[in-house]
Amino acid sequence: MTSAAGNKNSCIKKSQYSGHRSRVRERFYLNGFGGMLDYEVMEALLINLLPRRDVKPLAKKLLDEFGTVSEVLAQPVRVLEEFPGLGKTSAIGLKIYSEIGTYCLQERCFRESNLLETPEQMYNFVRMKMGLLKHESYMIFFMNCHNRLIDYHYIAEGTVNYVYTYIRNIIELAVDCGAGKAVLVHNHPSGVCVPSNEDLQATCKLYAALKNVDVELIDHLIVTHDECFSFVQHGINISKLEGSEE
């Protein structure tokens, strides 16, 4: 009798989970994420990764640990897969979700010539790419003479000193894609969106190196999760920085 009662309770719980999951999907179908609480958004992501489970407790625990949905999605796979209740497959699934928006914006940028003409437009793009990264990283964007995006690459991860190591590689990438202009971008995980002396020196060296192959470094952007520092917008003339004429 006890076993039968246990099985009955288990079936009732499964039925409740199934009904709740259907309601979450229906809410998303009708209004997207509009009107959903953070844990409900997290739950909507998890129900497709963890079938036949009540994922509401897990959604709340993830938010308790990392704070926001965006912070959860910004975590490396190795961190997510170690979180109790997730595992590697679900962790990879969450990272796929986090990259979809960036991928779609990337496609749009390559289709439309004017999407990255201003520092603000560039910032909106790179913020999705690296604004929430927990480690310092560098990207280089290449444009033609009309500011149309041609290509971009991650070039280094670590302190600014790594940029010096990759200058030759940056030159090769610029020449290969026929770039006329370039923008250097990196993030400050500390949240302090101000260039350091090392940032200025690296900018000078890269400007001089690109100038030798007729590519102009037109700006250097520093991003955090909620700010962007543009050398151009702050009146820093890269060509006049000490060392840029070397």
Domain assignments of the chain as residue spans, ordered by start: 2-102, 116-240
Rounded mean pLDDT, 75-83? 91
Predicted pLDDT at 111: 57
d(CA 31, CA 144): 41
- Enumerate residues 6+ apart whose C-beta is below 8 A from 14: 52
The mean pLDDT of the chain is: 80
Query: Measuring CA to CA, how many Å separate 14 from each of 11, 42, 56, 215?
Result: 5, 20, 14, 62
Predicted pLDDT at 93: 93
Give the CA count within 13 Å in the CB-facing half-sphere of 151. Answer: 13
Place of tokens 């940056």: 170
Do β-strands 181-187 and 149-157 pair in parallel, antiparallel, or remain unpaired?
unpaired
| pLDDT tens string 173-216 | 999 999 999 999 888 888 788 888 888 888 999 999 999 999 99
Predicted pLDDT at 199: 86
Predicted pLDDT at 9: 44
Is the confidence at residue 155, as pLDDT, over 90? Answer: no
d(CA 108, CA 123): 15
Distance of CA 93 to the CA centre of its chain: 16
Residue percentage of the chain with pLDDT more than 90: 29
Stronger pLDDT, 179 or 155, i.e. the higher one: 179
| pLDDT tens string 81-133 | 999 999 999 999 999 988 887 777 666 665 555 556 666 777 777 777 776 67
Predicted pLDDT at 216: 94
Output the CA torsion 209→210→211→216 (10° steps): -150
Rounded mean pLDDT, 137-151? 86
d(CA 11, CA 1): 15
Q: What share of the chain is helix, strand, coil (3-state, %, to 5)?
A: 55, 15, 35
Class of domain 116-240 (CATH, top level): alpha beta
Q: How many CB atoms are located within 10 Å of the residue 152 CB? A: 23
